[in-house]
């Protein structure tokens, strides 16, 4: 009765793009969003999969995202490239900056892409993974909106501030990639627990009185907690500084104050760094990629797994069998298609 329904990637991507176009998004943005949302669903990264479509449509309807701003590349020839997103969703702005970022990282060894004034809801692994596909190592980071209390505090101040990294693995099918919120879990996970009527694990969140809670609704009204106590709190703070203050954009506090709600996607910036391992290793003994492989092998030899291994396995399964959606998820797509 509740057997999954399988869709191939292109069918799902096209259906999402059509829903977003119908909602008023220009084709450039509808297509870019559909690629990342369908990829999330394909990879079993459900906190940034199709459940995000309604949030995108709500943000659009509320007039809190530009439906059609064309990303503008600003390049002064230095190692810092900018894309002005003009208040549109971030994926098209990222795609606009990639060729110049890769070219500059290869030329200089290290280059940065600052995306300003974008509306951001997506996972960061599609971005760092794409850069690793061009042979560069990459770090991506951004604020969010203030939903996380600093370690030792009780009120939302920091964002769930994701941090993602990818390292190219020449000859392998997939790069080394990690991507995580600097809160114990992404806010999307809390929302999925709420929808499923499931309690949260201990130590994910506090309620509005600052007391520990397992209730997703109380957590959404209270504050989430940083991962790793003071360490995650400091990393999330670094992200506010580098990918907010430093690039002349909003911090998570500023993004929430400007938007006034966490039910729509926030508007702020993003910072992406690209490194050429060959340029950094030039003149030094050894091959950085071989050293990377030795390290990954040693991790696996201990019985540990690499980050993204679960995601890549889900991707392989989806390629063989299609992307498995529940009947409720298919009903959501049908409903959104019908308008
Ligand atoms: P998870 O905690 O689910 O996973 C974090 C990373 O750790 C993944 O790369 C995961 O790989 C890896 N991992 C998990 N378990 C293990 C293990 N046992 N051994 C080795 N590696 C492991 O992610 P989060 O819930 O923290 O974040 C989910 C997503 O939310 C991210 O993609 C992030 O970008 C996004 N996000 C976006 C925000 C935004 O503002 N745009 C804000 C916050 C989060 P695998 O996937 O294979 O399990
Ligand atoms: O899951 O924490 C999250 C999140 C916030 C903005 C986009 N994703």
Q: What is the gyration radius of the CA atoms in the chain, in angstroms? A: 20
Distance 267 CA to ligand 1 centre (A): 22
Q: For residue range 172-186, what is the model confidence (pLDDT) as tens digits?
A: 999 999 999 999 999
Cβ–ligand 2 distance for 121 under 6 Å, the answer yes
Helix 9-22 / helix 327-338 crossing angle, nearest 10 deg: 40
Please state which architecture CATH assigns to domain 5-183+226-279+319-338.
Answer: 2-Layer Sandwich (3.30)
Which of 33, 46, 48, 185 has most ligand 2 atoms within 8 Å of CB, for mutation?
Answer: 48
**Residue 337 known to be catalytic:** no
Confidence of residue 2 (pLDDT cuts 50, 70, 90): confident
Q: Are 139 and 277 in contact (CB under 8 A)?
A: no
Q: So what's the ipTM on this one?
A: 0.98
Q: Are 252 and 157 in contact (CB under 8 A)?
A: yes
Provide the 8-state DSSP code for 226: B
Provide the 8-state DSSP code for 238: H
CA distances to 171, 175, 226, 317 from 282, in Å? 21, 21, 38, 39
Our measurement of the distance from residue 200's CA atom to the centroid of its chain's CA atoms, rounded to an integer in Å, reads: 22
Q: Nearest residue CA, atom 8 of ligand 2?
A: 121
Distance 125 CA to ligand 1 centre (A): 9
Percent pLDDT > 90 in the chain is: 97
SS3 148: strand
Q: Is the pLDDT of residue 104 over 60?
A: yes
User: Is the pTM above the cut of 0.90?
Assistant: yes
pLDDT in the model for residue 273: 99
Cβ–ligand 2 distance for 90 under 6 Å, the answer no
Q: Which atom of ligand 2 is nearest to the CA of 183?
A: 2
**Residue 47 known to be catalytic:** yes
pLDDT in the model for residue 249: 98
Q: Is the pLDDT of residue 1 over 80?
A: no
Rounded mean pLDDT, 226-250: 98
Provide the 8-state DSSP code for 69: P
Distance 282 CA to ligand 1 centre (A): 33
């Amino acid at each position: 009765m509740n057997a999954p329904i399988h869709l191939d990637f292109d069918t799902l991507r096209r259906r999402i793009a059509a829903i977003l176009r119908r909602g008023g998004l220009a084709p450039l943005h509808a297509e870019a969003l559909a690629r990342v949302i369908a990829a999330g669903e394909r990879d079993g990264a459900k906190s940034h999969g199709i459940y995000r479509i309604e949030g995108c449509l709500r943000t659009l309807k509320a007039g809190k995202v530009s439906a059609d701003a064309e990303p503008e590349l600003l390049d002064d020839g230095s190692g810092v490239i900018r894309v002005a997103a003009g208040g549109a969703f971030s994926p098209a702005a990222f795609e606009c900056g990639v060729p110049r970022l890769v070219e500059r990282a290869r030329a200089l060894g290290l280059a940065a892409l600052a995306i300003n004034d974008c509306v951001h809801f997506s996972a960061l692994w599609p971005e760092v993974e794409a850069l690793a596909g061009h042979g560069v190592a990459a770090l991506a980071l951004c604020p969010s909106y203030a939903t996380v209390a600093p370690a030792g505090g009780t009120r939302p101040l920091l964002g769930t501030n994701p941090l993602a990294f990818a390292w190219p693995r020449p000859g392998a099918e997939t790069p080394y990639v990690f991507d995580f919120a600097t809160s114990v879990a992404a806010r999307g996970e809390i929302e999925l627990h709420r929808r499923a009527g499931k309690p949260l694990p201990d130590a994910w969140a506090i309620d509005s009185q600052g007391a520990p809670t397992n209730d997703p609704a109380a957590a959404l009204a209270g504050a989430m907690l940083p991962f790793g106590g003071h360490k995650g709190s400091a990393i999330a703070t670094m992200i506010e500084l580098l990918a907010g203050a430093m690039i002349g954009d909003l911090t998570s506090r500023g993004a929430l104050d400007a938007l006034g709600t966490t039910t729509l996607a926030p508007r702020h910036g993003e910072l992406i760094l690209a490194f050429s391992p060959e340029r950094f290793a030039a003149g030094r003994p050894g091959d950085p990629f071989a050293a990377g492989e030795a390290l990954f092998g040693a991790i696996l030899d201990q019985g540990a797994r690499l980050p993204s291994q679960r995601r890549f396995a889900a991707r392989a399964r989806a390629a063989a069998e299609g992307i498995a959606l529940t009947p409720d998820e298919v009903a959501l797509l049908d409903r959104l298609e019908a308008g």
